[in-house]
Chain A
Amino acid sequence: MKQQSWSDWVRERDDPRIAHTKREALDDITVLDLSYKSFAGCQCSSLLAEFGAEVLRIEPPEGDFLRICTPYGMLYKGEGLNYITEGRNKFHITLDLSRPEGRKILKGLVTQVDVLIETYRPGTMDEWGIGYEQLKEINPRLIFASITGYGQFGPMSQSQMPDYDNIAQARSGIQSGTGEVMPEDKSYNECPWAVPTKAGPWIAWSVAGTFVAVGILAALYWRGITGEGQALDVASGEAYARLDDYAALWYYDTGIISERFGNLDVCAFLYCFAPTKDGAVFLGGLRLEMWQAFADMVGKWDEWDAASWTSLAPFMQKEEQLKWAPLIFEETRKYTNEELVRMSIEYAQKGRLAPITPVVAPVCSPEEAMKDANWLDRGIFIPTQDPVYGELIVAQAQHKMTESPIRTKWVCRPVGYDNEHIYLKYLGWGPSKLKELKQKGII
């Protein structure tokens, strides 16, 4: 019998459409997410919730400020669009931690959970009597994770400044090296776009949240061996900076500061965005043969004498990159994105250096990305049918797994939507107690 193809075999087992039929990796774990004004916190607990952890998201009675951090002030069914994407699979309850009675209730929950996530300014939780050192007394197995702008210790940890994504991006050293180069004889007034440029998405917050989630899983593993909980400390600027690559070592070794280099690349060749007839493509070829294949693909093998090239090293020099870029762009401008992509795929089959071929990818708008049949087939944009918000598209299924895959069950919940269920389940409180607490403004 012929063996099933690898791709069919995998798809049969990890297609996101069958994820709900499989077991969940973390459905023995309970998480309290106290994060406030922090997308990092929300994404962190979402990642755990996608794997099946029961996440109790605690907001102050008026709701998290993050709910109104939404593009152009747009609300959908009363909810901000960022919050709605990372509210997934979580139960949302309210509790006023600034009041002693609220803190007492929190302690009642802490004894019953595995993980606590918080994003208050360092010292706040301690002042409230619910810091790590206080809570570990009532739950020594607790994993207590803090996400802040500057961390729990070190000179800046006492800063009064709050944590925001654009601040972390600025602090990381990455924004300064990203952006268009100022054209010669031009000024900032003429070219206000030739400046250090941050990434559009909340990437520093996403990275911080993901590092914390990874740290929490490592801490769970450690707890499995020792039975001990612990405290985790992540600073969002550090988390994002950690993804940076050569820049620190390069500066340390040579004193050179990595500067903006537009859509070329300081540390890689062939590696750029190149203009085309109808937009732009990314061109990549980190091996000499791939660069040669590109030259061949656009008919320049002889003219550029590609056969004589023996190493990529000379092409990495700044001057060489600046010399070659216009020559490359002159060729790519002759074609459409689609033509160049096809040329690359065909070159892998029939080219002189096949199966080696350059990487060619269209530079897409997010609208094109969302309509791309490949990602739709891969289950990234399967609309979630949410009991409150209706059918909504949030990106999901970023990893696919054969045994215990992630899944999105619902996208979000309004403020305090799960008070009844969660307070009954964890504290045995029925409607009359909740009514009393609500009247007092505790929940």
Chain B
Amino acid sequence: MAQETWKNYRENKYFKPSPLKGIRVLEACTILLGPAGPAFLGAMGAEVIKCELPPTGDTVRQMVPFGHSFRDQAPAAVHINTNKYWLGLDLHKPEAQKIFCELAAKSDIVEDNMRPGVMEKWNVGYRQLKEINPSIIYISKNGFGQWGQYAEENRPSNDGAAQAFSGYAWMSSFPGRPPLKSRLYVCDTYGALMGEMAVLAALHYRARTGKGQYIELSQTENIMRTMSWIWPYQQITGKVAMPTGNRDVSICPADTFRCADDTFVAIAAPAPEEFKGLCTAMGKPELAEDPRFKDHLTRLKEKNATALLEIIAAWVRTKRPEEVEESAERHGFAASRVYSSKDVVEDAHFRERGFMTKIDDPVLGPYVEYEFPVMMSESPPKVKWSLRPVGFDNEYIMKYRLGKSEDEIKELYRCGILGKWADIQGCRPPPQWDGKAGIIMARD
């Protein structure tokens, strides 16, 4: 708890530095797996320069739930691209590749999520950049990594492919039903997070040795890591691991139950005192002594688990979800309503912690966003702004970071090296934009 440490954290965090101050990241990424990683670093205070192909930019700009855009922007693009500077650079052209190299020379980290060899074809692969900047840390994230059969077949991939290939979807469905795809692009965003684990470890290594390095991450391989018991279980038993719906096969009881009002609540009560609490709450304290349920390993056995979960299900069917939550609080087991996106946005606790936060963005206007979920007492991460139209910060980056003259910048536009947005929804500014707000270098 450490009361003093966390006092007024939400109010004070903007008065404190961010942990990755002084780190610069150069991003050539699209959709989610690529861009989410630099956004995590950006939230922790790194300066992120995102390169997009003008004039349409990142494909994520067209990801709109059932066609709904937010002030002409794709909600997916807004969420995944926090705290970045936006460069419209046509990497197909040699002059643009040269600019990318100039930026790489001044960067600590480069990230891409192309298929293997594409960046090298554009003369900005790791082998080329390390000649310019030997201490560069370079990460490539994609479906299949840089070598092996699937990489060599040059297969395209994305989140759903990784959910399918890994067995993750198989394990996340109900028995007898087809494997189920998560609504969450989990292999993308978790892949991106794990990528930053390696990037930051490499940064630590660089601080000790001065050496940069190349990192590759396959989102399919990465999600397999979360499937813990499944692999040794299959090795030891020779059997295929099977899905069990909402029931957790390693924790008993732990499942999602239907309430009296046809909403859902999750419950977990495996430890002895938690289980006793649940039995008492259900008015059946004798269950804790029942030989079928007497200890955790016994409860976990298929027959016993099924019997116990049926008893709990019958109890929950008579309760409203708040009643189950209150009961859990009183008796020391865990319960939570299955939150909808509305519940998450409106949750008082999330807001009080600043996890669900309001952004006042000069280009996008006000909107809600999830804060970076690691609260740090001395160097708090913070989300400040997000999506910009394609090429929005060209002048700022060219001038502030590369020291280009007005004439040089003009020439880069003339040759199509630099570019700005197409007049297409998702690429262009919001209709409410006044033509000036958010522009850093030249507003007139």
**11 cross-chain CB contacts under 8 A:** A23-B205, A73-B299, A126-B3, A165-B254, A193-B174, A233-B376, A364-B166, A378-B221, A380-B224, A399-B222, A406-B198
Nearest-neighbour CB distance to chain A for B35, whole angstroms, equals 11
B158 cross-chain contacts in A, Cβ below 8 A: 271, 284, 286, 359
Across the interface, do A244 and B184 meet the contact criterion of CB distance under 8 Å?
Answer: yes
Across the interface, do B368 and A364 meet the contact criterion of CB distance under 8 Å?
Answer: no
B171 cross-chain contacts in A, Cβ below 8 A: 199-201, 366
Since A165-B251, A399-B198 are in contact, a sample of 11 more A-B pairs with Cβ atoms closer than 8 Å, ordered by chain A residue number, is A73-B297, A133-B5, A170-B338, A256-B66, A257-B340, A267-B64, A275-B178, A359-B156, A365-B241, A395-B231, A398-B194
Residue B226 lies at the interface, judged by CB distance under 8 Å to chain A:
yes
Residue A231 lies at the interface, judged by CB distance under 8 Å to chain B:
yes
Across the interface, do B168 and A199 meet the contact criterion of CB distance under 8 Å?
Answer: yes
Residue B433 lies at the interface, judged by CB distance under 8 Å to chain A:
no
Chain A interface residue bracket vs B? 35 or more
B276 cross-chain contacts in A, Cβ below 8 A: none
Across the interface, do B251 and A164 meet the contact criterion of CB distance under 8 Å?
Answer: yes
Scan residues 4-45 of chain A and give those whose CB is less than 8 A from a CB of chain B: 6-11, 13-14, 23, 25-26, 28-29, 37, 39
Q: A47-B197, A188-B262 are in contact. Are A398 and B221 (CB under 8 A)?
A: yes
Residue A81 lies at the interface, judged by CB distance under 8 Å to chain B:
yes
B31 cross-chain contacts in A, Cβ below 8 A: 286
A133, closest chain B residue (CB): B2
A381 cross-chain contacts in B, Cβ below 8 A: 231
Q: A6-B117, A235-B373 are in contact. Are A273 and B329 (CB under 8 A)?
A: no
Across the interface, do A362 and B164 meet the contact criterion of CB distance under 8 Å?
Answer: yes
Across the interface, do A357 and B367 meet the contact criterion of CB distance under 8 Å?
Answer: no
Across the interface, do A399 and B204 meet the contact criterion of CB distance under 8 Å?
Answer: no
Across the interface, do A173 and B255 meet the contact criterion of CB distance under 8 Å?
Answer: no
Across the interface, do A164 and B32 meet the contact criterion of CB distance under 8 Å?
Answer: no
Residue A213 lies at the interface, judged by CB distance under 8 Å to chain B:
yes
Residue tally, chain B, CB below 8 Å to A: 192
Across the interface, do A263 and B225 meet the contact criterion of CB distance under 8 Å?
Answer: no
Q: Which of B167, B338, B378 contacts A230 (CB 8 A)?
A: B378
Across the interface, do A401 and B198 meet the contact criterion of CB distance under 8 Å?
Answer: yes
Please, how many angstroms separate the alpha-carbon atoms of A40 and B226 in the complex? 11
A251, closest chain B residue (CB): B341
Please, how many angstroms separate the alpha-carbon atoms of A233 and B354 in the complex? 12
Across the interface, do B216 and A400 meet the contact criterion of CB distance under 8 Å?
Answer: yes
Residue B258 lies at the interface, judged by CB distance under 8 Å to chain A:
yes
Scan residues 156-188 of chain A and give those whose CB is less than 8 A from a CB of chain B: 156-157, 159-167, 169-180, 188
Q: Which of B116, B156, B208, B216 contacts A399 (CB 8 A)?
A: B216
Across the interface, do B353 and A153 meet the contact criterion of CB distance under 8 Å?
Answer: yes
A249 cross-chain contacts in B, Cβ below 8 A: 70, 75, 78-79, 367-369
Residue B342 lies at the interface, judged by CB distance under 8 Å to chain A:
yes
Across the interface, do A233 and B221 meet the contact criterion of CB distance under 8 Å?
Answer: no
Across the interface, do A251 and B342 meet the contact criterion of CB distance under 8 Å?
Answer: yes
Nearest-neighbour CB distance to chain B for A211, whole angstroms, equals 5
Scan residues 377-423 of chain A and give those whose CB is less than 8 A from a CB of chain B: 377-378, 380-381, 383, 392-404, 406
Nearest-neighbour CB distance to chain B for A292, whole angstroms, equals 14
Residue A106 lies at the interface, judged by CB distance under 8 Å to chain B:
no
Please, how many angstroms separate the alpha-carbon atoms of A228 and B16 in the complex? 13
B165 cross-chain contacts in A, Cβ below 8 A: 282, 361-362, 364, 369, 372
Q: A169-B266, A404-B213 are in contact. Are A245 and B185 (CB under 8 A)?
A: yes
Scan residues 244-284 of chain A and give those whose CB is less than 8 A from a CB of chain B: 244-254, 256-258, 260-263, 265-268, 271-273, 275, 280-284
Residue A210 lies at the interface, judged by CB distance under 8 Å to chain B:
yes
B4 cross-chain contacts in A, Cβ below 8 A: 133
